[in-house]
Structure 1
């Protein structure tokens, strides 16, 4: 049996020394990897552990550690494995960045671009306010002198404007690359009702053809516990109170589903 686990967080580059990342530690992903490793008895069993640069590393036989940085890096590594290896289950617990850096500029560059636009186009009173605003914004962020990200941005710059763009939804590509793989998705929200959390997790399951989804709320995660709801396709769910319980619960359900196929 081959399992692929993603854990930790991605990091999006600002320049060659600075990144934008999140606070995911990979502790839950590591616990899941170790729980799977404890159940393995065959020499051919293997766990691929794709993790962020600062994620916790599980130490056990047959766990292959693969470090990734950005979302693009994750997609490349994930695609490589799913198109060359048979994977029985994917546990996608990684906190993937929703945005990546698109443009780096400054307030003064934006102001200069807008001034140039107005100067070149003359009075624009005939334009609808929304149209004029859209044109000004487009000019501001497409005609400015961007700072680039290949070198370290000077700390002498007084202000930096970072424009970000959406990243692809990695979970949506998994079943497309390997339809037969069992998929466990994860959903994290903050300070919502249990009903909202379950509904949101279930919607993620339906949208991405997941077999299970672990829904958790940031307010229920601390050093002593980790509350999570493991949601099934019929919207029933199991409740867990610690990372260890979640890890063992996921392993138990994954094995049960795969053994019934």
Structure 2
């Protein structure tokens, strides 16, 4: 089976030397990809230069992207070639559009005008004591997947922090319905520590519990095997 996996975390540039990113290492995506390859599947891994990656493998293709815009275009261009998408990448919700001095912002009567500006400097000056960074919401890529490929088996991920199991599963089911996903892997950051990684594989009326990255990968592989059964 041909499977598309996204892993790591996007980085959104403020200027040529600064960016907003997240702490996703890509380790879970690496384990998932390696498990799929060992089972004989063809995998295309979309990831970033900073993320950890599997070793070269005959069935593996790696595409590196930097930001959400690059991820969107790459997925749009490739997704029709795949039967399953495992979308584990931590995608930035916002991207910087303009950084302004506090005095300029305070004097403005219309803050929305800053959203139409672009930073002109290669490296924004650090002379001001306070800077205001304007962010614009990125498109929610998982919500576009079934538009691009209605037949793909979509496995998404949801990460929250310090919530109850019941709430985490509730939010996962909302994401399941909203994005027409087939499965959501729900995680709480407080329950991720090295190889210890508690997660819930959530469907409409049931869920499974995993306690490590390898167990998550094994359960996903088991699900994929059942698609051909």
TM range, smaller chain: over 0.9
What residue is the counterpart of 1:50 in the other structure? 46
Unaligned runs of 5+ in 1: 114-135
Deviations 1:118-149 (A, max 9, x none): xxxxxxxxxxxxxxxxxx3x2x45279x6715
SS at match of 2:66: coil
Give the TM-score of the pair, scaled to structure 2.
Answer: 0.93
**Cα RMSD, aligned residues only:** 1.9
SS at match of 2:44: strand
Aligned counterparts of 1:27 and 1:37: Cα–Cα separation in 2: 15
What residue is the counterpart of 2:150 in the other structure? 179
> Given the superposition, is the C-alpha separation of residues 46 and 150 from structure 1 closer, same or farther in structure 2, using an over 3 Å criterion?
farther
> Given the superposition, is the C-alpha separation of residues 15 and 177 from structure 1 closer, same or farther in structure 2, using an over 3 Å criterion?
same
**Does the 8 Å CA contact 2:97/2:119 hold for their aligned counterparts?**
no
Name the structure where strand makes up a greater proportion of residues. 2
What residue is the counterpart of 1:88 in the other structure? 83
Unaligned runs of 5+ in 2: none
What residue is the counterpart of 1:240 in the other structure? 210
Say whether 1:170 aligns with 2:141.
yes
Give the deviation of 1:70 after TM superposition: 0.9
**Does the 8 Å CA contact 2:155/2:183 hold for their aligned counterparts?**
yes
Give the deviation of 1:206 after TM superposition: 0.9
**Does the 8 Å CA contact 2:47/2:89 hold for their aligned counterparts?**
yes
Aligned counterparts of 2:44 and 2:139: Cα–Cα separation in 1: 22
| Number of equivalent positions | 228
